Structure 1
């Protein structure tokens, strides 16, 4: 029976948390530890050392006194059965970690006091959805690193392609793997206790309501997809449910916030589409007006010069809207920053802001001259 369970574990696509206080889990841990094809990573002593320092912040620890404290700790706790073991089947690796509460405390200790404990607890109760996992991958990883959610729902129908790898942090060994799988795996390797739900078909008419509401309504939508249809339909849905929407465009550091939670009748995209007709007319004529709609959403006059030039090359010398890894990483960080502001009630209103590094430094140099 144990062998069959281990084989089941090896076929898993997700990280498996094994708790030694459960007899069946303890049996599996023993079985996995005896399997020479599985790598065992047991750095529990170093984690306990961090935990001891966290619990005694005013004490000046030398390496010798800390070593003694760790030894004393394991005189009271059995090393093998302390904490949890996490099996990562895609890496054939078993990792020994602190118990969940202590793991979270140690992993987020450097958040203090940039993020207060009250804010960290509030963020742990929030549900965030991300549509599109190019820029969205950087957003998701930034959110996971800071532990800015309790549940993350990610949607993308695509697999990793070589052309994605100028902006998606991944490995060539992952070519062909669904982007949702890659992001969920990476988050579980950062923090296996975070809840991530994947929608590997992307957002469709059939699953959109579930994405926004299943097991509790989203507190924030981060929209980073290429599809104009989904961009617009997702905003209609978010507005009907009073869910704020955050978007980054990876050009001139533009971040877009629509506070449908505070303004339930706010026009989509700040009214930038109004010159093209009513919202219903825009939706009905989407296929015929895609270029005009895209130019309005991007606010063409405020694009970078290279961004403007790129648009006219679409379908001629390039096939997709260009995005640079540096811009995508910056956008992911900014979205994580503004997510905290929105969810923690820091008074962020609807609007667009540009964090344009080129302009900032150009203006700085001009002022010096």
Structure 2
């Protein structure tokens, strides 16, 4: 299924013809034309110090149209997966208006700097929340997302998606949702997930990543992406969605930094294919720090393979973790002072002073 929107700028005769042809071929396309309300909001936000009457607003809108018919202003965006056509402000005005409520937590200078950043997100569980938060804040110029998995019904306890998406690739679900928030954002999908064969493309093609966020399940890939990130001086962020644990590894500032904060010898991170299941579990436990996990997760680990098939994740933790990872990603992208380390943003601990 197509995951990219299609743009029609009807003031251009050839695109207007293509638009009309599409509607003749697909008369069932649902049209959403809210361009006048967007123009009114745009001129009001452009004049925040003035108390504008309805007549003033209408005059400013007319000035903005500069003689164009409303249908020819801005851009019409076609979403093939939902058969919707939406009339929007074009990219410059759209981005100014959509991010207006970010000021001055994100300044115009910040926004300009972020528009040149390339961010990678691997794994679309917590990664979905990271990607959507970055998109809503417009905190990147290009977003590369990787996950080979499709959406299962059991994923809907923590992944924001409708039941009509069951069986769809998670990366495509995320890419479509971002396009529906902001069709001008540049999102590159890796439908096969992050692999040894495509890791160089994911990290380096069309410019090196500025930050990578690791939310994948594969132990091998967690390790491989860190070796690659360290080699190329790219910081790594990881949220585990348990006790708000957030890992930050600043390989951009510390090119010789030990992987996973040196919690285990690096020689233990190779030749994983020969590990027995219990050895793999011990390695994972050492990386995560099993002594620090929540009581609920400790209990769950003992039930894996007995009463449950894998470890649990809650929507509240996944959404909070995604927001925290996106926040740190933005700060690193803007060159703020963010140290390496392992941090806990544990609401239970903060509120009740208990683990």
TM over 0.5: yes
Cross-structure match for 1:227: 218
Q: How does 1:1-369 map to 2 (within 5 A)?
A: 12-34=2-24, 35-71=26-62, 73-74=64-65, 76-274=67-265, 279-285=266-272, 287-288=275-276, 289-363=279-353
1:32–1:94 Cα contact (<8 Å) kept: no
List runs of 5+ in structure 1 lacking aligned partners.
Answer: 1-10, 365-369
1:155–1:198 Cα contact (<8 Å) kept: yes
Looking at structure 2, the residues matched to 318 and 73 of structure 1 have their Cα atoms a distance apart, in angstroms, of 59
Looking at structure 2, the residues matched to 301 and 271 of structure 1 have their Cα atoms a distance apart, in angstroms, of 16
Cα RMSD between the aligned structures? 1.6
Looking at structure 1, the residues matched to 284 and 58 of structure 2 have their Cα atoms a distance apart, in angstroms, of 60
1:33–1:40 Cα contact (<8 Å) kept: no
Q: What's the TM-score, normalizing by structure 2?
A: 0.95
The alpha-carbon distance between structure 1 residues 206 and 285, as it changes in their structure 2 partners (threshold 3 A), is: closer
Q: Deviations over 1:67-117 (max 9, x none)?
A: 453355446222111111110011101111111100000000001100111
Q: Secondary structure at the match of 2:71?
A: coil
2:220–2:272 Cα contact (<8 Å) kept: no
Looking at structure 2, the residues matched to 296 and 140 of structure 1 have their Cα atoms a distance apart, in angstroms, of 28
List runs of 5+ in structure 2 lacking aligned partners.
Answer: none
Q: What's the TM-score, normalizing by structure 1?
A: 0.91
How many residues align? The count is: 350
After superposing the two structures, state which structure 1 stretch, 100-109 or 53-62, moved more: 53-62
Q: Deviations over 1:27-66 (max 9, x none)?
A: 1222344543010110000111111012211111244542
Q: Secondary structure at the match of 1:165?
A: helix
Runs ≥4 residues deviating over 3 A: 32-35, 62-65, 71-75
Looking at structure 1, the residues matched to 146 and 66 of structure 2 have their Cα atoms a distance apart, in angstroms, of 47
1:254–1:354 Cα contact (<8 Å) kept: yes
